[in-house]
Amino acid sequence: MYRILMLGELSSKIQKRMNRKDRFEFVTTLKRPEGIFVRSAEVPNDLITKDLLVIGRAGAGLNTIDVETCTQNGTMVFNTPGVNSNAVKELVLTSLLNSVRPIEDAAKAVQELNGEDILKQSEEIRNEYIGDELEGKTVGILGLGTIGKQVARACFDLGMDVIGYARQPRNQEYFEQVFHLKDLLPRVDFVVILLPLTEETTHLFDEEAFSLMRKEGVLLNFGRGEVVDNNALLQALDNEQLSTYISDFPSTELLNHPKIKLLPHMGGTTEKALQNGGIVAMRNMRDFLIYGTVRQSANFPDIFLPFTAPTRVTIFYQDYPKIFSKISQKISTHNIDIDILESERCDSYVYTLIDLNEADMAKVKKLTDEIHSLPGVIRLRILRNPNWAPTIYL
């Protein structure tokens, strides 16, 4: 039985669906789990032990997981990009609309009225809440992945001019693409950040970037908080180099500023997104633990192989000359037949699935001990086919 440490909420219905054959135990406290399910919580490095086989992230970002340490440990890390993309897109659109129409202030003002002629009173104050429209304005989308393209398309459909920024060319008819911020910031009324956090994107918005923005510009950050240099941001707002900052990543120094609206990191948090993310994450985790299959991993290559033999050996190892031939020689020496195998590479690592026509676990264990002793082998597992039955000839 695999023990899964839950560092995020998952409905009991999904847990029951995954655990129909009592293969998993879901726990909330455990020092040495075989699997970890997480949404946005930090994964402490002291949980990355030799027992830890997999970390499943329901969501896209991996900044709360030490992926490099996991790789060195042979722990597979995967995420579920795309399952919450519509939720994030709709929150971006909501924020864009709210930035031009003072809906919240207007609604609050109506609640403060008294008397029988509320409609008349409301009409008398409505000129205080005249907003603007998005149609005809220009928006810059920074990051043209799944979410970025959806936001760009939605903005285009609202009648906005769309300029996209990304390192790789994107061939889309509904936006113009540029490759340098200096070619985007002076031209747009709104900037939407949907970039991941990398060395290149950390503090991408610094004093120089803010100096290029329009004074009436609105900056919306739904990528990562550290993409924006908060000190430079506060200075830019005080100097009226932009009008408004909306962020899904609160920080202490940005609280209670009249030109800043902070949201509680709620971009991908809807009932539908949470459910879909949990389902995909648990399905990928189940398939990896039981079959060795890999989907959407950050440090293992994606791989799939139908499991038709009695035994499967999974090997994660550093690639170096002739290591695979040494593995094959070991198998041949032990007189075990290979049914089928599949091997894929990710950076300098290789992940191999080998199905063996051998049900004698003692014999398989002796073989795998020798393979595991080869230089560069980081993680080796023996899996029994849960659906295998020997063929009986009559």
Question: Could you report the per-residue pLDDT of 183-234, keeping only the tens digit for each?
Answer: 999 999 999 999 999 999 999 999 999 999 999 999 999 999 999 999 999 9
Could you tell me the pLDDT band of residue 356, with boundaries at 50, 70 and 90?
very high
Q: Are residues 249 and 344 in the same domain?
A: no
Q: Is residue 355 part of a domain?
A: yes
Q: pLDDT confidence of 391, banded at 50, 70, 90? A: low
Residues 152 and 245 in one domain: yes
Residue 106: CB atoms within 10 A of its CB come to: 16
Are 98 and 243 found together in one domain? yes
Count of all residues that appear for the chain in the document? 394
Q: Is residue 123 part of a domain?
A: no
Residue 258 confidence class, pLDDT cut points 50, 70, 90: very high
Q: How far apart are CA 296 and CA 287, in angstroms?
A: 12
| DSSP line for 350-361 | EEEEEEES---H
User: How do residues 134-155 score in pLDDT, each as one tens digit?
Assistant: 999 999 999 999 899 999 999 9
| Residues 190/92, Cβ–Cβ less than 8 Å | no
Of the chain, the percentage scoring pLDDT greater than 90 comes to: 82
- pLDDT at residue 81 in the model: 83
- Whether residue 111 is contained in a domain is answered as no
CA dist 67 → 57, 71, 76, 79, 331 (Å): 12, 6, 9, 11, 31
Predicted pLDDT of residue 110: 95
Judged against a pLDDT cut of 70, whether residue 296 lies above it is answered with yes
The confidence score (pLDDT) of residue 392 equals: 53
The dihedral built from the CA positions of residue 254, 82, 300 and 171, taken in this order, carries a sign that is negative
Q: Are 144 and 177 in contact (CB under 8 A)?
A: yes
CB-based contacts of 3: which residues, under 8 Å, 6+ apart?
24, 25, 27, 30, 33, 34, 35
Query: pLDDT category, 32, cuts 50, 70, 90?
Result: very high
Instruction: Indicate the residue among 281, 300, 319 that finishes a domain.
Output: 300
What is the predicted pLDDT for the residue at 22?
77
Alpha helices in 305-384 (DSSP H): 323-333, 361-372
- Report how far apart, in Å, the C-alpha atoms of 167 and of each of 61, 92, 196 are: 19, 22, 12
- Give the residue numbers spanning the domain of 353: 303-394
* Joined tokens for residue 317: 């190892």
pLDDT, one tens digit per residue, over 306-317 is: 999 999 999 999
Let me know if residue 189 belongs to a domain: yes
Residue 193 domain flag? yes
Distances, alpha carbon 373 to alpha carbons 220, 327, 367, in Å: 52, 10, 10
Lowest mean pLDDT among 14-28, 67-81, 238-252, 289-303: 14-28
The pLDDT value recorded for residue 367 is 95
The reported pLDDT for the residue numbered 389 is: 66
State the pTM of this model: 0.75
**C-alpha span between 335 and 134 (Å, rounded):** 71
Residue 45, C-beta contacts closer than 8 angstroms, at least 6 positions apart: 66, 69
User: Domain containing 342 — which CATH number?
Assistant: 3.30.70.260
CATH of the domain at 55: 3.40.50.720
Residues 42 and 91 in one domain: no
| Whether pLDDT at 342 is above 70 | yes
Residue 394 pLDDT > 60 = no
